[in-house]
Amino acid sequence: MSRRRQEPFWNIDKILGLTAILVSMATFGIYLYQTHLIQKQQIAAVWPYVECFVKYVPQSQENPKYQLVIRNKGVGPALVKNIKIDYFGIKHEGDPDREYLEKLFGKENVPDCNFAFANGSVIPAGESVILLEVLEPEKMADSFYEIFKATSIKICYSSIYQDFWITEKDKHPIESDNCK
């Protein structure tokens, strides 16, 4: 009877097979990391940055204007989900409109204004929306400016990837889970 020689456990075939598995797993990990980086890059490439402020436009001594402005300083479009306005308990949800100004100033004292709509719309990158423009500031100049300086305005908006932010007048946006 011939004795069979016992082969060692670690032969070249097993070492090459194990090496191939390890290289495949490392490649898979690298692909996962690259995918994560690409996703972060795509999100950053469409990041909106919305701010809200009151602006005084001195066109002339007789014709200056006050404006309530929303501006998107980001690199992607901002989808405005909702706007909430509060002036010492006088609350309004949505764009500032004539009804809201009547609550603030009284029906007979509402100045002549232009209104724009941002609630539910898209503000492209680098664009602004003038929500409210008061055309007769000589009548309401001081009170309009003081009221809108003291007014709390919260705007909830999202990117095209449904990442949400809330911005307040004269503050930086804060990330949010949703716009409720």
Domain residue spans in the chain? 10-45, 50-176
* pLDDT for res 147: 78
For residues 96 and 114, the answer to whether their CB atoms sit within 8 Å is no
Dump pLDDT digits (tens) for 112-132. Answer: 788 888 888 899 999 999 888
Predicted TM-score of the model (pTM): 0.74
Mean pLDDT estimate for the chain:
85
Q: How many residues does the chain have?
A: 180
Q: Which three-class secondary structure state does DSSP give residue 169?
A: coil
d(CA 30, CA 35): 9
Q: With a cut of 80, say whether residue 53 has pLDDT above it.
A: yes
Q: Say if CB 137 and CB 148 are below 8 A apart.
A: no
Structure tokens at 123: 């503000």
Predicted confidence (pLDDT) at residue 4 exceeds the cutoff of 60: yes
pLDDT at 74 over 70: yes
166 band by pLDDT with thresholds 50, 70 and 90: very high
Would you identify the CATH topology of the domain 50-176? Answer: Immunoglobulin-like (2.60.40)
Dihedrals φ, ψ of 92, to 5°? -150, 130
- 3-state DSSP assignment of residue 39: helix
Sheet holding 65-72, edge to edge: 50-57, 65-72, 128-134, 113-115
The pLDDT tens digits for 22-34 are 999 999 999 999 9
C-alpha–C-alpha distance, residues 107 and 84, integer Å: 21
Task: State residue 132's pLDDT score.
Answer: 84
Q: How confident is the model at residue 60 (pLDDT cuts 50, 70, 90)?
A: low
**pLDDT confidence tier of residue 90, bands split at 50, 70 and 90:** confident
Banded pLDDT at 138 (limits 50, 70, 90): low
Question: Per the structure block, which two tokens stand in for 80?
Answer: 């405005």
